[in-house]
Structure 1
Amino acid sequence: MDREAILAAVEAAGVVGAGGAGFPTHVKLKTACEVLVVNGAECEPLLQVDHELLYHHLPVVLEGINAARRATGAKRVYLGVKGKHQALLQKLKKRLASRSWLEIVPLPDVYPIGDEHVLVYQVLGRRVPPRGIPLQVGAVVLNVETLYNIAKALAGECVTHTYVTVNGAVSQPGTWSVPVGTPIEEVVKAAQPLLEPGTWTVVSGGPMMGEVENDLSQPVTKTTKGLIVLPRDHAVVARLASKQTLLRWAYSVCCQCTMCTDLCPRYLLGHPLHPHRLMRALASGGPMEAETAAEALLCSECGVCDHYACFMGLSPRRVNQMLKAKLASGHSAARFSLEEVRPSFAESQVPAGRLVAHLKLARWNQPAPLQGILPAGARVAVPLKQHVGAPAACRVKVGDEVQEGTLLGCMSEGQLGAAVHSSIAGRVTAVADGMVFIERGGSNG
């Protein structure tokens, strides 16, 4: 298949970055690059999608890698996997030994090794500029599941399912292929929560960057990678849910110890981001200097500052989120200069095991083996926006009969976004709140 056919197939299938914000993959593949970096680092604790796909579906992922190479013109491919996964590394080395253009890179078990800026530096020794993208240093980074979906797209399969790890306080932790639009509650039930109803909640995403999801009727999307079941009174839940409280504390409590800056992954890479200065400026009560406030735009929101570094329980990350919202897009990346890598870079990275213990998650950090496809329930609610860009324009109406893979929404030519497809066969019962609601039944039920 030639380059144009690959791009067309990926766009038609609605492939987006599965491990992040959902950037449309066909757009990323249009850019020529020197190297392709495969992100198999599994950045967040307790999540295991990358590992399971590489171990059980390596031929499919490899097809996706080959297609991405052809589309981007990359001469070399680097596959980053944590060095602690010895069984997986042995399998990869055996299966990929004949491919001279592909290098397996064992990664340290630190957080946030899956962050694109950190990963590119660890793999290539190149530093992405502040607010920049890997392409600026000759690289395109793609997540393992994204490559899996690229391969499926070439076979004519749309993105109707997403792989999700369910872990935490459950008796059957695992990684399932879940129909997009499935209520979170149905996915969690498959893993059999250990706690009494009403005493647990779900963190959607990971314990560092995720959000507490109190409404379990909300749907799984293309970018949902983890659902972590935790007691309602768990420290991780309290911290993720206490946005306004943490902001109020920041105005008066910060002692300026600088730990949030000393351990900030972006600061360590040489980005001019100093969380403690932002906290100090906020506590002063006066107007914040524009140059100081603009540093918030460099924050990756990885959570090291609040979940790990701050012994007073404050959240520079939430402060940065607030400042970003106020600044919007008014500051250009050109105003930030890349500084030298900090001398403490190596020793200041956060060991994943220590982080899990610090978060009081060790007892819930269980293997989550691949469990296959989660049977679809009676209904799904498929969002028309599961990606960076504009929502897909709806192409169905109430009463329409659909099959798995039926196009529900698409983008206008030249518009940034991704197509959206039905994950089950049934009838459209509503189009509301930016979602298409589908129930099994009718002639397709």
Structure 2
Amino acid sequence: MRIGYSVVDITPDLGVELSGYGWYLGRKAEGIIDNLYARGVAFDDNSFKMLIINCDLIAIDEKISDYVREKLSKLYEINKTNIMIVCTHTHTGPATAKLVGCGEPDEKYLDLLPDLLIKAGETAINNLREVTCVKSFEKEIDPISFNRVRKDGPLDKKVRGIVFYFKESEGRPLAILSYGCHPVSRGRLKEISADYPAAVIKALNAEGYDGIFVTGLCGDINPNTHKGMSGRGTPEVINEYGIRIVKAMIDTIDYVGSMKNVKLDAFEFSVDLQMQHYTEKEIDELVNIYEVDKEKNPGIFKAVKIWAQVMKDKLHKEEDPYIEKAKIQVFRIGDALIIGFPGEIFTLIGTIIRNEIPSMNIIAVGNANSTMRYVPTKDDIENKGYAALTSCFLYQRLPLKPGEGERMAEVVAREIKQRLK
């Protein structure tokens, strides 16, 4: 098997509006803390090809993702299903997806972005090196994070990863690392930053590795710097987060055996998610609730009004407005699976899948190929939490029925087990 790696700078110009942290903030970039990058990892075992493009972005519009994947598919004869574009979900980068009220997209930047992502894919594909050894690992750490939804809620404390080794003359090893935590440690700054994932790459490079960091499932997880929704992690704290995550690999990898059979595979399937059956009357009632506090919270009221009109149009125009298709993408690399979800997914969903497939090292990631919505757990939906209800206004979606997240996890596990037979 051969692997290629690339790094392409995708930092926008100053003046672009940054995405995240609230409604209609007008948070335009005034400086740069970290440059933003797209990093490509290409896989080729002569009979099968795959490609991951990892971006320091909050999310990616599905139209851009589809265009880039289709273009690379035609250029290099890689099945579109075998190309994954996954975002780290930094909240100090440009608006690159549909998030109403959370940053206005810069059209000039959006015009440039597809070619930059294609370049990341091309460069990785054109710089393949022969792999001599592959290892995968998981290691629990003292968490950098906490469950922001429930005080006693699930928290995945494990760093997971895959490490590829080459002949010494062909360059240093390459690691794919993952940990589930929202990249919001910097807080509501007006500077561009990749947040703590940049610190992970910095620490990885310092240890003599190239690599990418794919953010694990973190729909309900924030960094410890963000307790009380304050953010403002210092550079020292954020750098320590990166070192702590990389140390999990360094302390573990020498004691892990090499994969015996590094089989490559990639597949995609859809899960039908069921929405709550909101009527026009219920939509109007929700608008009225937010109108009461419109002077105190004008931004969210503005977003709710936009949402209400879009949802009414949806009820009239769509054959079944209460079903959404979530496209799930799975990459297999030997005994490891990278599962890409098109949204912000709660931690428990990954745990359910891992419990169903204990023989595989499962790296579950969000914001893959698009970010359509939050997928919370039953309790959050019943409690009408931020992920369950309020976030629907920025993603322009109807709320999910309680239990849909857990059901999605079961469907995903079943589909994967069928493929592994």
What TM-score, normalized by structure 1, do the two folds share? 0.23
Q: Which has the higher strand share?
A: 2
What TM-score, normalized by structure 2, do the two folds share? 0.24
Which has the higher Rg, Structure 1 or Structure 2? 1
